[in-house]
Structure 1
Amino acid sequence: MMSSLLQKQNLTTEQLQLLASEMSKKQKSGGVAWLLWFFTGGIGGHRFYLGRIGTGVAMLLTLGGLGIWTLVDLFLMSGMIKSTNESIENEILSEIRLLSQAKANTEVAAGRE
């Protein structure tokens, strides 16, 4: 989380707006994740939603470890949601960095001509 904060300090206002816009589109909702856990927890619906496909399939095949895994997820859900959203934010920050580097390279190349 701290590295994400440091990365955001160096962003322009335009880049911060882009980050906020992309996060609003891509981040996972805690409410949706909890509803999926409640209604489809036994078959791993919440894990599929959070991008944890492998463990989602394992829960699907074992019916949530016969309910035990589903109960354990009750305590793990908040951390899974936070972790997933931090990963999404880091991906977006990487894309913004790549875009700004490409823009800078284009400006430098245009200045040479």
Structure 2
Amino acid sequence: MNNLLAKQNLTTQDLQMLASEMDKRKKSTGTTWLLWFFLGGIGGHRYYLGKTGSAIAMTLTLGLLGVWTLIDLFLISGMIKKANEQIEAEIIQQLQLMNHARNREVAVGKE
């Protein structure tokens, strides 16, 4: 929801840059599911989604002998969505910083 509010202040060019960067950085649903299927017991999908702490715990416990892996079956979609929202928020923040710096340069140039 915060991303939606932040996007309102972006120009068309900024939104195009956002879409381009999201295409490059977003986490793939297919890749995540393949990692869960083949490496779920050791947390491969969690490493991919940036959940390193819980991924290490899964590796050390072998996914609590498969129970945690099965639970993740129901959680993966939400984890992918949250990871992609975080990536989008980071890109929006970078765009806002670039715009702020550009506006300061213009303001200083006018003085």
Task: State the percentage of identical aligned residues.
Answer: 59
Give the counterpart letter for 1:74 in structure 2. L
TM-score, normalised with respect to structure 2 = 0.97
Give the match for residue 79 of structure 1.
Answer: 78
Give the match for residue 34 of structure 1.
Answer: 33
Give CA deviations for 1:59-110 in whole Å, capped at 9, x if unaligned: 0111011101000000000000000000000010001000000000011001
> 1:11 aligns to what SS in structure 2?
coil
The Cα of 1:8 is off from its aligned counterpart by 1.2
Number of aligned residue pairs: give it. Answer: 111
> 1:10 aligns to what SS in structure 2?
coil
Give the match for residue 109 of structure 2.
Answer: 110
In structure 2, C-alpha distance between the alignment counterparts of 1:57 and 1:49, rounded to whole Å: 12
Give the match for residue 45 of structure 2.
Answer: 46
In structure 1, C-alpha distance between the alignment counterparts of 2:109 and 2:37, rounded to whole Å: 56
In structure 1, C-alpha distance between the alignment counterparts of 2:64 and 2:91, rounded to whole Å: 34
CA-based RMSD of the aligned residues comes to 0.6
> 2:27 aligns to what SS in structure 1?
coil
TM-score, normalised with respect to structure 1 = 0.96
> Structure 2: which 5+ residue stretches go unaligned?
none
